[in-house]
Structure 1
Amino acid sequence: TNGTTGYLSPEQTYGTGLYQEQQSPFAPGCLEQSIEFAADALEELRGS
């Protein structure tokens, strides 16, 4: 990502030594929280 904070790795990949995990400033679970937030926001927009 050329020095940007673009990697959100799945929680289960943390601790495996993947490049994406090593470069990410985000904690385990951030991807899942982001997905949940986006899904909730879409549901709210749909009026559900």
Structure 2
Amino acid sequence: MELKIVEMKIPEGANLVLGQSHFIKTAEDIYEVMAGGVPGAKFGVAFS
């Protein structure tokens, strides 16, 4: 396993939910929680 440190610039006043997985179902689960739990939220989900 390779671990990397990545610098992130988060705008002041922003909230961050960060999830990581190697399993596509987990990416879908994160999407469903954000879409269903926070009406009108702006977010993105990526999987690679």
TM-score (norm 1): 0.32
Larger CA Rg, structure 1 vs 2 = 1
More helix by share: 1
